[in-house]
């Protein structure tokens, strides 16, 4: 059994953060799931979604940790599968929080479509980059820019909705000061926390930011950002749910 | 984050992708694009100074225009006689003006304290812009004979202190305002985020692009919005078309005269290089504009 455990070097920061990320997501998932019983019924679904977000991420981090351990390369495939499932769920949280103020299912679907659009385009841009097969970084420039533009449009839609669009307006209409503040905090997550993903996209080998940020370290930033964004998102929802249930 | 910061963020992402596509933009291209945006947005934001002034103060047209144009002539003379002093004066004046337009909607009641915040916020902005791009600035300055005098300003150690002191002081002033209940936590976090964003922009992009991005989006468009809302508050039926009609005459006049002067410089009639002439034009326009806007914001 012990022979199956991958060797982890003390300076393998990527492997270290995959491990930390997995445990943190798993712990958060258990926490959100058990805390559901402490909140009012109307908040149970929000906490379940929070638990799902971190739970799905924990499973993927388990795979990614092993993938990294064996191959020592960025697990792009698993990462995007994880994001494609968890990011739309984060958008569902916006819908659930603003539902009492009148959020429609249409809003939820618009946010889901924008987030899936963002991630699928990002995946095509990153995973099917011609530079990977040719080994010449410049071969992938037009490909990564085109899919980068398409992906950014989806991100900007979600960002606008959270700060000025329907989500922000519904939050302002909400009777609860806690919900208002909570939605504003989640909007900060979208603005600051999610910014790591387009930055990471541009740190691909040959990317414009690859000279500013070491591409081999991007997984460390992704892992830290993922943990902060997903657990942080859940904690904000948890705070709203417990405050409103008192 | 307000709408201007959102536009700023969108522009940063757009520039990220432009740089991803082209990896570098030549200085000539930067100048062409920057000039276009500054002429389109920068000049119009000061094109209705006369209207704003007369809304706030009573004075004869002759006296106003004499003072306005007189200040411009005086500043031109100062530039020709003492270019370095004029340059430093321009930096301080711009810093105050940028800071004032940034916090005008913050409803700060510590009136004696406000000028300090405006000045340091603006100085931090300019110091950050220059500090991150000091080698590029020194190269541009050294390239033209009549701007070589400014080279003495670009001392890296000096700029490091200037950059550190102005940024730390600005942060302390913002936190002080928060502690004194002059600024909400929401506004404070927005301001801190904006400062971080400005640092990122000035660090990543070349001097001209970084400055143009700030000047157009966070200053000019923001000021035009303040002006528009002022007219709208006076007359509810006031619309965008009426506002553009107000901006147009003096904008076109300014763009025409600026183009003539730059053409004369290009053809060698003025004996002043285009960058030096551009600084003089921008600064002499800024002086009366900053004074009018100060009156506009405070009355």
Query: pLDDT tens-digit profile of B149-191?
Result: 777 777 778 888 999 999 999 999 999 999 988 889 989 999 9
pLDDT of residue B273: 80
Check pLDDT > 60 for residue B206.
yes
Contacts 24+ apart (CB under 8 A), B63-70: B67/B288, B68/B288, B68/B292
Across A49-53, B109-113, B185-189, least confident range: B109-113
Task: Inform me whether the C-beta atom of residue A191 falls under 8 Å from chain B C-beta atoms.
Answer: yes
Partners of A171 on chain B (C-beta within 8 Å) are: none
Check pLDDT > 90 for residue B8.
yes
Q: What is the pLDDT of residues B63-77, one digit of tens each?
A: 999 999 999 999 999
If you search the block for the tokens 């528009």, which residue do you land on? B228
Q: What is the 3-state secondary structure (H, E, C) of chain A?
A: CHHHCCCCCCCCHHHHHHHHHHHHHHHHHHHHHHHHHHCCHHHHHHHHHHHHHHHHHHHHHHHHHHHHHHHCCCCHHHHHHHHHHHHHHHHHHHHHHHHHHCCCHHHHHHHHHHHHHHHHHHHHHHHCCHHHHHCCHHHHHHHHHHHHHHHHHHHHHHHHHHHCCHHHHHHHHCCCHHHHHHHHHHHHHHHCHHHHHHHHHCCCCCCHHHHCCCHHHHHHHHHHHHHHHHHHHHHHHHHHHHHHHC
Partners of A155 on chain B (C-beta within 8 Å) are: 13
* Cα–Cα distance measured from residue B122 to residue B129, given in angstroms and rounded to the nearest whole number: 11
Interface residues of B toward A, Cβ cutoff 8 Å, are: 1, 3, 6, 9-10, 13, 16-17, 19-21, 23, 186, 189, 193, 204
* Cα–Cα distance measured from residue B7 to residue A163, given in angstroms and rounded to the nearest whole number: 12
Partners of A184 on chain B (C-beta within 8 Å) are: 186
pLDDT of residue B137: 83
Check pLDDT > 70 for residue A1.
no
- Confidence band for A184, pLDDT divided at 50, 70 and 90: very high
pLDDT of residue A62: 92
Check pLDDT > 90 for residue B98.
yes
Check pLDDT > 80 for residue A136.
no
Task: Inform me whether the C-beta atom of residue A144 falls under 8 Å from chain B C-beta atoms.
Answer: yes
pLDDT of residue B192: 95
pLDDT of residue A139: 72
Instruction: Over range B9-13, report the average pLDDT.
Output: 91
pLDDT of residue B16: 85
Q: What is the 3-state secondary structure (H, E, C) of chain B?
A: CCHHHHHHHHHHHHHHHHHHHHCCCCHHHHHHHHHHHHHHHHCHHHCCHHHHHHHHCCCCHHHHHHHHHHHHHHHHHHHHHCHHHHHHHHHHHHHHHHHHHHHHHHCCCCCCCHHHHHHHHHHHHHHHHHHHCHHHHHHHHHHCHHHHHHHHHCCHHHHHHHHHHHHHHHHHHHHHHHHCCCCCHHHHHHHHHHHHHHHHHHHHCCHHHHHHHHHHHHHHHHHHHHHHHHHHHHCCCCCHHHHHHHHHHHHHHHHHHHHHHHHHHHCCCCCCCHHHHHHHHHHHHHHHHHHHHHHHHHC
pLDDT of residue A4: 65
Q: What is the pLDDT of residues A141-170, one digit of tens each?
A: 788 889 989 999 999 999 999 999 999 999
pLDDT of residue B110: 79
- Best mean pLDDT range from A24-28, A169-173, B30-34, B231-235: A24-28
Q: What is the pLDDT of residues B245-291, one digit of tens each?
A: 999 998 999 888 888 888 888 888 877 888 788 888 889 999 999 99
pLDDT of residue B105: 85
Q: Residue A220 corresponds to which tokens in the numbers above?
A: 């460390």
* Cα–Cα distance measured from residue B51 to residue A194, given in angstroms and rounded to the nearest whole number: 44
| Distance of residue B20 Cα from the nearest chain A Cα, in angstroms | 5
ipTM of this complex: 0.81
Partners of B193 on chain A (C-beta within 8 Å) are: 191-192
Check pLDDT > 60 for residue B39.
yes
Considering Cα of B177, then B181, then B182, then B185, what sign does the dihedral take? positive
Distances (CA, A) of B71 to B68, B75, B115: 5, 6, 22
Tell me the Ramachandran region of residue B101: left when phi exceeds 0, alpha when psi lies from -120 to 50, beta otherwise: alpha
pLDDT of residue B270: 79
pTM to 2 decimals? 0.84
Nearest in space to B253 (alpha carbons), one of B17, B28, B50: B50
| Distance of residue A142 Cα from the nearest chain B Cα, in angstroms | 6
Check pLDDT > 90 for residue B61.
no
* Cα–Cα distance measured from residue B147 to residue B138, given in angstroms and rounded to the nearest whole number: 10
Q: How many CA atoms lie within 13 A of A118 on its CB side?
A: 27
Check pLDDT > 80 for residue A133.
no
Partners of A160 on chain B (C-beta within 8 Å) are: 6
- Confidence band for A9, pLDDT divided at 50, 70 and 90: confident
Q: What is the average pLDDT value for chain A, to the nearest integer?
A: 88
Q: What is the pLDDT of residues A81-114, one digit of tens each?
A: 999 999 999 999 999 999 888 889 999 999 999 9
Across A116-130, A174-188, A194-208, B257-271, least confident range: A194-208
Do A164 and B10 count as a contact with CB atoms less than 8 A apart?
A: no
Please tell me which of the candidates B16, B23, B204 has its beta carbon nearest to residue A198: B16
pLDDT of residue A5: 67
Nearest in space to A22 (alpha carbons), one of A36, A11, A34, A8: A8
Q: What is the pLDDT of residues A63-82, one digit of tens each?
A: 998 888 888 888 889 999 99
pLDDT of residue A226: 92
Instruction: Over range B191-216, report the average pLDDT.
Output: 93
| Distance of residue A207 Cα from the nearest chain B Cα, in angstroms | 6
């Amino acid at each position: 059994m012990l022979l199956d455990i991958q060797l982890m070097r003390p300076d393998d920061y990527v492997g270290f953060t995959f491990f930390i990320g997995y445990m943190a997501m798993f712990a958060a998932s258990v926490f959100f799931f058990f805390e559901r019983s402490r909140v009012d019924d109307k908040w149970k679904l929000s906490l379940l979604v929070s638990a799902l977000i971190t739970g799905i991420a924990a499973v993927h981090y388990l795979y990614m940790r092993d993938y990294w351990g064996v191959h020592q390369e960025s697990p792009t495939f698993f990462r995007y599968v994880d994001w494609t499932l968890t990011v739309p769920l984060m958008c569902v949280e916006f819908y659930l929080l603003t539902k009492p103020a009148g959020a429609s299912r249409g809003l939820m679907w618009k946010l889901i479509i924008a987030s899936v659009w963002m991630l699928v385009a990002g995946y095509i841009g990153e995973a099917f980059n011609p530079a990977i097969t040719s080994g010449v970084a410049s071969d992938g420039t037009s490909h990564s820019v085109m899919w980068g533009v398409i992906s950014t449009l989806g991100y900007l839609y979600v960002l606008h909705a959270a700060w000025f669009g329907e989500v922000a307006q519904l939050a302002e209409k909400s009777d609860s000061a806690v919900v208002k503040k909570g939605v504003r905090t989640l909007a900060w997550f979208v603005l600051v926390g999610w910014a790591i993903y387009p930055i990471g996209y541009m740190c691909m080998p040959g990317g414009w930011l690859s000279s500013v940020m070491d591409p081999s370290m991007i997984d460390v930033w992704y892992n830290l950002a993922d943990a902060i964004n997903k657990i942080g998102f859940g904690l904000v929802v948890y705070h709203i749910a417990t405050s409103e249930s008192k | 984050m307000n709408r201007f910061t959102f536009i700023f963020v969108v522009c940063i992402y757009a520039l990220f992708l432009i740089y991803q596509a082209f990896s570098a933009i030549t200085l000539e291209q930067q100048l062409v694009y920057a000039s276009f945006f500054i002429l389109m947005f920068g000049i119009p934001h000061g094109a209705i100074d006369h209207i704003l002034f007369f809304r706030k103060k009573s004075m004869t047209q002759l006296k106003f225009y004499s003072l306005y144009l007189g200040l411009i002539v005086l500043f031109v003379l100062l530039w020709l006689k003492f270019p370095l002093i004029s340059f430093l004066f321009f930096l301080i004046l711009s810093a105050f003006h940028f800071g004032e337009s940034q916090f005008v909607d913050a409803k700060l009641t510590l009136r004696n304290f406000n000028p300090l915040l405006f000045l340091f916020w603006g100085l931090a902005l300019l110091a950050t812009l220059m500090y991150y791009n000091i080698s590029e600035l020194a190269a541009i300055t050294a390239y033209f004979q009549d701007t070589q005098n400014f080279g003495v300003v670009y001392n890296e150690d000096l700029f490091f202190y200037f950059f550190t002191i102005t940024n730390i002081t600005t942060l302390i002033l913002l936190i002080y305002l928060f502690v004194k209940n002059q600024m909400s936590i929401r506004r404070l976090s927005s301001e801190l985020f904006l400062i971080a964003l400005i640092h990122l922009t000035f660090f990543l992009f070349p001097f001209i692009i970084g400055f143009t991005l700030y000047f157009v989006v966070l200053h000019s468009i923001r000021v035009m919005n303040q002006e528009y809302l002022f007219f709208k508050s006076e007359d509810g039926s006031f619309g965008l078309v009426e506002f553009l009609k107000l901006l147009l005459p003096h904008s076109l006049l300014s763009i025409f005269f600026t183009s003539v002067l730059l053409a004369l410089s290009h053809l060698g009639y003025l004996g002043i290089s285009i960058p030096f002439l551009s600084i003089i034009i921008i600064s002499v326009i800024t002086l009366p504009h900053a004074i009018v806007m100060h009156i506009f914001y405070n009355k």
